[in-house]
Structure 1
Amino acid sequence: MRLLQSEEELKNLIASDDWMMSILSTVENLQLPDWWICAGIIRSKVWDYLHNKEERTPIADIDVIYFDKENLAEEVEKQYEQELRKLSPNEPWSVKNQARMHVLNGSKPYQSAVDGISHFPEIPTAIGVKLSDGVLEIAAPYGIHLLGAGIVEPTSFYLENKYAYAIYRQRIQQKQWHLCWPELKIHLQ
């Protein structure tokens, strides 16, 4: 299995993917506050690369997050999804304001979108990317080492909280990632 060892390698991998760059450009056009594309779209791209897959593994959705503590209405997220569907109608958009997502985890309010990313269940999912004036930026609160090595571990919030860890275990069982990417090293306690 190949490795992906640096943020620069990750940026190059994303930059070489016309579809991902189109997705990023589409979201950049909305000018959401503190926005990122995150989770599965990036994780799957990297794991496909690690496993030498030539065909893109289908994803359930494109997670777009932003941070706006001034407007917490879920309806606003749905409006952003509609705007994205108008710009790119064939994509499975999912938009979430991280200023309200802490409630789902039972944690303290997040301070930014990247703080929200740091509370995602798995380290290789806790990753974001965005375009700022055409320049790729990476948000990796835990770094990219585990993602780039095909290692799945829970983030610190899920590791330290018994209830949250049960959610991590359930996600691992539901996602069945090892069937698509057999060389992953998935850690369970």
Structure 2
Amino acid sequence: MNLVDIERRLREDSEVQLMLTTVERLDLPDWWICAGVLRSKIWGIDQNAQSDIDIVYFDPSDISEATEKKHERQLCEWIDLPWSVKNQARMHTINELPPYTSAQDAISKFPETVTAIGVTRRPDFELYLPYGAGDFRDRIIRPTPHFHLIFQRRVIEKRWQDNTGLHICI
């Protein structure tokens, strides 16, 4: 699986397209659907009911968590899914990292290389894979350089070691 295969799979997925159309209606600055929902789509893993749909955006003019919750409620009114909306202009403080400069900068600092993925439609479909397609192709879960200790905790919490089809690189 290469970059073209990943892009095609996400472009042709009707659920991803519905999510893109729905999030686009919020008209958020620098917005992306990202992380686990996309990884699961690429790997053909069914999302369980507890998995959320991560939406990130970058708006330094309003870093209120209440605004994020308002966006989540609006998305749920349109389509009842487990949306999680986060303004990356404030998330660096939670992750104890220097301030992010954009949503893409934040995505590149997600815990795992195969979580550091985003798609948007501003105005056309765009895929962002800061660590390339190799780990998706090889089904390898490894930490990004920014999150090695957090990555080790997530491996245990998400029980990835129990999935025999994955290779965990700690």
Query: What interval of TM-score do these two structures reach, taking the shorter chain for normalisation?
Result: over 0.9
Q: CA deviation at 1:64?
A: 0.3
Cα offset for 1:176? 1.5
Matched, 1:9 2:5: yes
Q: Name the counterpart of 2:157.
A: 174
Any gaps of 5 or more consecutive residues in structure 1?
159-164
Code of the aligned partner of 1:167? I
Structure with greater helix share of residues: 1
Does 1:25 pair with 2:21?
Answer: yes
**Contact between 1:102 and 1:108, CA under 8 Å: does it hold in 2?**
yes
| Correspondence for 1:39 | 35
Q: Does 1:185 align with 2:140?
A: no
CA distances 1:105-131 after superposition (whole Å, capped 9, x unpaired): 211100000111111100000000112
Contact 1:66 1:113 in 2 (8 A): yes
Percent identity of the aligned residues? 41
Q: Taking structure 1 as reference, are residues 67 and 186 closer, same or farther at Cα in structure 2, changes over 3 Å only? A: same
Q: Is the 8 A contact 1:11 1:136 kept in 2?
A: no
Q: Find the aligned partners of 2:70 and 2:57 in 1 and give their Cα distance.
A: 13
Q: Aligned with 2:146: secondary structure?
A: helix
User: Are positions 1:118 and 2:96 aligned together?
Assistant: no
TM-score, scaled to structure 2: 0.93
CA contact (8 A) 2:37 2:47 kept: no
- Is 14-23 or 34-43 further displaced after alignment? 14-23
Alignment partner of 1:136 out of 112, 125, 133: 125
Is the partner of 2:62 in helix, strand or coil? Answer: coil
CA RMSD of aligned residues (A): 1.4
The TM-score, its normalising length taken from structure 1, stands at 0.84
Query: 2-side partners of 1:145 and 1:68: how far apart?
Result: 31
